[in-house]
Structure formats: C-alpha cells, structure tokens
C-alpha cells in the first residue's frame, strides 16, 4: 500500500463551493478543482519560460487494490481527470508491479538515513519506481511529450499529475544528457525546462498531500518567478555533481549570482570561469594560485575576475579558484565535465557547455537561452496590438527593432497609434523632431541617447529622448532598471494601442504589451 509522499504546492482556483463534479464517481470531491489549479500554475510557469511550450496538465489515478478476480484484471482500472486522456487505461494495467520491479533493480541510497525511517525510505523508493514505470508507458504510448509526476495516496488510489509540453519547442533548446540522478534516486535536471518540471511536480505533490487537496484551503502558492528561480538553483546541481562535488554544499547558482552582482572599483564584472576538475586535459594553466581561493569568498573571486581576458579565464573545481588559464584542444562534449560560467555584465551571467548556452540569469532570475529577437512573436504582437497585417509595414518595423537591438547601451522604443498626439503631450520632456520614417541609419542615431523613441505603426518617428510617464500598476520589478519599469507604467496607462520594446545593456530584450511582458 502506497502511503502519502511529499511533493510541491499548487494553489486553489477559488474558495467556497467546489466546481461541478464529473458524471463518473470521483476519486475525491475536489479533483477537477485541483487539476484546474495545477493547470493555472503550469500556464504561468511555462509561459514565462517560453509561451509556445503550451503546457497541459491531467491527473492519473492508479488503484492500489485489486478490482477484479483474475491476475490480468489487477490494477487495470486506471482513472483520469479529465476523463479524456490520450493514453488508454489498459496501458497502465501492470504499472505498479513494474514500479516494484524497477525499485528492486535500483541501488538508491537514502539522502539522510539518520533522519529517514525505514518506512519513509521504502515509500520514497516505491514512489520513484512507480514514476519511472508510468514514464515508460507515456514514452511508449503517448505521441505527445509527457512527464509523470510523483504519486500521492488519496483513498485507494495513487494519484499523480502528468504534464504535457510541446515537443518541438522543448527539443529546440540545448541540454545536457538526460536520465541523471542523485545518489538517492532523485532526478537531476538536464535543462532549465526539466528543472522547472521537477519543481512543478514537487509543488503538486505537496498540495496533493494536504487535507482535501483542491478544496479551497488557505494555501499560498509560489509565483512563477519564485519557481523558476528555484529551478535555476536545481539545474546548477547538475554540473556540481558531474564534477564530483556535493550539490547541496556547492550552491553554484547562488555563488554565480553573488559574484555577478559585485563591482570592483566601480566596474562591473566581465569574464569567464571554467569549471572542471584540476588536471582536465582540455585546460592549460597560465599561472596557479599558491592558496586556492574559495568560490564563496565572493569579493576575492570578483577581484580575480579583473585579470581575465577574452582567452584567459579563472579555473575552478567547483569549490575553489585554483589558477588562471585557458581552454585548449578539442573538448569532447559527451564527457560533460567542463562547464563555463560567462559573466556578461552587472548581475548577468550565462551557464554554458560545449559552446552552447544552457541558461541565462539576470538579477537572479533564470531564463532560457532564447534568441535576442523572435520575428514570429514580434509579428504576433503587432497583429494583436494594432491589427497590423501589412507585411511591408511589419518588415519596416522589424528592421527598426533589429537595428535598435544592436545599441550596446540599451534603448527603448514605443510604438503607439497616437504617436503624434503623445509627442505633443510630452513635448516638455522630450525632443520633438519633424516626422521622419525610421531607417536603420536614423534608428542608430536616435537610439544613441537616453530616453524613449516614439513612433507609430508606420515606423514614423515624432520624438526622441522621451521621459515616459504613467501610473504604477504593480507589474514592475525592483530587479530591473528605470527603462524597463517606466515602459510598463506607460504601456499599461496608455488609453491607446501601444507596444514597447526594451533593450537592456546586457542584450536582454522585452516586448511589453497590455497583455504582458515577453522576454526575448
């Protein structure tokens, strides 16, 4: 019999009377409500990473007792919420028995045997076996990309969330090799998306083990940004373990954030940190430190970073900086024992492997390594905001934005249907110019100064160096600069169709509409 297992928290959709129950007998009274709450969390989380991931959540319930008289009937009646799952129930007929076999075949060690009872260890291992068995079924029988969560006992069922994502979008991002585990059998993520999936599943299991999950109890859910930060922290456990370090003690995510946040004599930190065991065949030391500097001595590491150049980096083993050196030879990426932390600018860094960016972090907020500009999404935003479908006009605006994205000091473009009227209203806090169609050359000139550039959907510019106004809406963030927050205030306060493109100094781009913010 499977007992409740600890997982993470999904919020209630609302309080009060539960939603109408399905016609069939429910596993528990609030299952539809719980699934909708989990779907809401998934939408916020994965849309923040990439809105094309298109998450979908359903619940799978595996009976823990026999429902028939023959061995073949045992465990056959898997149930779903909602009932129209793409995977027929008979595929899960023997999944609990398969889970037990997988459990016996693994040599999972308890994470803390002094604090975990034998019963707790047994339940955790059984849960891991069931999850692996269900994942096998999903991989074989579901044409779409699906991920099994962790089971929790509710009545006579082991209930787990199943998350579907867009396979093409998921596979478009670089990752490390899959099927990685901690020594106690927990999964190690091979990408930021998978780390977010694991955190989502943890939240779901915590909520499933609450009394009457989904009933509307006062559970405070974590917001998407908090879950993504937690996913970034989890993802950085992977290189730590690959280098033979204790992930819990190494805390690479927090270390990189802190180092990137420090300045040295007023200058921001720019340079690279190569992570590998000392003596790696693809590293050559220029000179070594007599006393290696701990990575947790943040200011000392930041000072050492000043000595790096385009081809000379700090060398660290995950615990200490031991030398300055460079990468040599042809690194075999399949080894996965040489990683790069690239400090881009103040409070911004990238995690790289094999010449590919796996994760970016800006002010402690992880993100996927998306291209600086996405033409398809930009077209979609123009169509949604201005009902603009004229391909010639769209291309002209695209050329303007593309040129603005090259402005190394950052800039801000505001496109609005009432650009002329707004230029007149803000004439005391901007520089008015004669209306001119923006070309790449003119765009390069007008974005060289502080302030926003005001233009209309026809790419005519009316004012430059604009100091935007607007009311605070609560959507801003203290971790971003004045340019970003003023753009949010202006767009949300504007009575006219409006869109803003924020180009940060570190290359991060945000397209801001009244519907939300899309980071490029």
What pLDDT sits at residue 478? 59
Residues 151 and 2 sit within 8 Å (Cβ to Cβ): yes
Residue 100, SS3? helix
Residues 150 and 104 sit within 8 Å (Cβ to Cβ): no
- Element of type H or E holding 44: helix 31-49
Give me the CATH number covering residue 247: 3.40.1700
| Domain contains 2 | no
| Same-domain status, 192 and 64 | yes
What pLDDT sits at residue 516? 64
Domain's final residue, options 197, 231, 265: 231
Q: Is 267 exposed, middle or buried (0-12, 13-18, 19+ CB in 10 A)?
A: exposed
What pLDDT sits at residue 372? 61
| Same-domain status, 262 and 208 | no
Minimal CA–CA distance to 95: which of 14, 161, 176, 158?
158
| Same-domain status, 395 and 459 | yes
Half-sphere exposure of 98 (CA within 13 A, CB side): 15
* Rounded alpha-carbon distances, angstroms, from residue 294 to 247, 277, 298, 370, 416: 15, 14, 8, 32, 51
| Same-domain status, 278 and 389 | no
| Domain contains 476 | yes
| Same-domain status, 63 and 90 | yes
| Domain contains 17 | yes
Domain's final residue, options 199, 231, 263: 231
Domain's final residue, options 231, 249, 276: 231
pTM for the predicted model, two decimal places: 0.74
| Same-domain status, 133 and 205 | yes
**3-state DSSP of 248-296:** HHHCHHHHHHHHHHCEECCEECCEEEEECCCCCCCEEEEEEEEEEEECC
| Domain contains 159 | yes
| Same-domain status, 382 and 433 | yes
Range of the domain at 132: 8-231
What pLDDT sits at residue 51? 79
233's CB contacts (< 8 A; 6+ apart) are 251, 253, 254
| Domain contains 504 | yes
| Same-domain status, 359 and 458 | no
| Same-domain status, 362 and 388 | no
| Domain contains 3 | no
| Domain contains 1 | no
Residuewise pLDDT in 10s, the chain (520 residues) = 333 333 333 333 333 334 444 445 578 888 999 999 999 999 999 988 987 899 999 999 999 875 443 444 444 478 899 988 778 888 898 898 898 888 777 766 666 666 667 777 777 888 888 999 999 999 998 888 999 999 998 888 999 999 999 999 999 999 999 887 776 667 889 999 999 999 999 999 998 988 888 776 445 567 889 999 999 999 999 999 888 888 877 889 999 999 999 998 888 888 999 999 999 999 999 999 999 999 999 999 999 999 999 999 999 998 999 999 999 999 999 999 999 999 998 899 999 999 999 999 988 999 998 766 677 888 899 999 999 989 999 999 999 998 998 887 889 999 999 999 999 999 999 999 999 999 999 999 999 999 999 999 999 999 999 999 987 766 666 556 778 888 999 999 999 999 999 988 766 788 999 876 555 4
Residues 97 and 75 sit within 8 Å (Cβ to Cβ): yes
Give me the CATH number covering residue 510: 3.40.1700.10
Minimal CA–CA distance to 468: which of 493, 447, 487, 442?
487
Q: Locate all alpha helices (DSSP H) within 317-446, ordered by sequence.
A: 375-386, 391-404, 419-425, 440-446
| Same-domain status, 25 and 157 | yes
Provide the 10 A C-beta neighbour count for residue 118. 9
What pLDDT sits at residue 1? 36
| Same-domain status, 391 and 330 | no
| Same-domain status, 69 and 159 | yes
| Domain contains 382 | yes
How many structural domains is the chain composed of? 3
204's CB contacts (< 8 A; 6+ apart) are 7, 8, 9, 10, 38, 149, 150, 161
């Amino acid at each position: 019999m499977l007992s409740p297992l600890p997982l993470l928290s999904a919020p209630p959709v609302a309080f009060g009377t539960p939603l109408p129950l399905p016609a069939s007998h429910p596993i528990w009274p609030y299952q539809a409500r719980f699934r909708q709450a989990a779907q809401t969390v998934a939408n916020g989380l994965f849309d923040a990473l990439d809105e094309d991931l298109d998450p979908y959540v359903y619940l799978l319930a595996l009976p823990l007792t026999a429902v028939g008289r023959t061995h073949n009937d045992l465990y056959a009646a898997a149930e779903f919420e909602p009932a129209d799952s793409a995977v027929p129930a008979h595929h899960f007929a023997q999944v609990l028995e398969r889970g037990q076999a997988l459990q016996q075949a693994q040599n999972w060690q308890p994470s803390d045997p002094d604090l975990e009872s034998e019963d707790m260890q047994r339940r955790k291992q059984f849960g891991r076996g069931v999850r692996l068995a269900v994942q096998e079924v999903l991989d074989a029988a579901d044409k779409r990309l699906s991920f099994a969560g962790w089971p929790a006992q509710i009545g006579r069922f082991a209930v787990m969330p199943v998350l579907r994502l867009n396979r093409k979008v998921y596979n478009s991002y670089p990752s490390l090799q899959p099927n990685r585990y901690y020594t106690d059998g927990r999964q190690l993520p091979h990408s930021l998306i998978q780390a977010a999936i694991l955190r989502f599943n943890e939240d779901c299991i915590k909520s499933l083990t609450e009394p009457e999950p989904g009933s509307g109890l006062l559970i405070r859910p974590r917001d998407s940004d908090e879950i993504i930060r937690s996913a970034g922290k989890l993802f950085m456990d992977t290189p730590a373990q690959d280098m033979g370090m204790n992930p819990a003690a190494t805390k690479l995510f927090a270390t990189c954030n802190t180092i990137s946040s420090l300045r040295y004599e007023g200058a921001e930190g720019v340079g690279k940190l190569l992570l590998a065991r000392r003596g790696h065949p693809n590293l050559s030391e220029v000179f070594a430190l007599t006393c290696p500097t701990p990575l947790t001595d943040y200011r000392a590491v930041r000072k050492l970073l000043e000595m790096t150049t385009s081809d000379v980096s700090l060398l660290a083993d995950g615990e200490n900086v031991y030398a300055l050196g460079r990468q040599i030879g042809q690194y075999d990426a399949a080894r996965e024992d040489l990683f790069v932390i690239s400090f881009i600018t103040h409070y911004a860094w990238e995690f790289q492997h094999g010449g590919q960016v796996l994760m970016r972090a800006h002010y402690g907020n992880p993100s996927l390594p998306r291209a600086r500009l996405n033409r398809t999404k930009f077209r979609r935003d123009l169509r949604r905001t201005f009902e603009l479908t004229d391909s010639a006009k769209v291309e002209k605006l695209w050329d303007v934005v593309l040129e603005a994205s090259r402005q190394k000091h950052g800039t801000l473009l505001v496109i609005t249907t009432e650009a002329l009227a707004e230029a007149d209203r803000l004439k005391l806090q901007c520089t008015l110019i004669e209306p001119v169609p923006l070309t790449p050359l003119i765009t390069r000139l007008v974005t060289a100064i502080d302030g926003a550039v005001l233009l209309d959907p026809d790419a005519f510019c009316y004012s430059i160096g604009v100091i935007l106004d607007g009311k605070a809406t609560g959507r801003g963030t203290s971790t971003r600069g004045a340019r970003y927050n003023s753009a949010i205030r202006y767009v949300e306060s504007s009575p006219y169709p409006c869109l803003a493109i924020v180009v940060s100094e570190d290359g991060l781009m945000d397209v801001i509409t009244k519907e939300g913010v899309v980071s490029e």
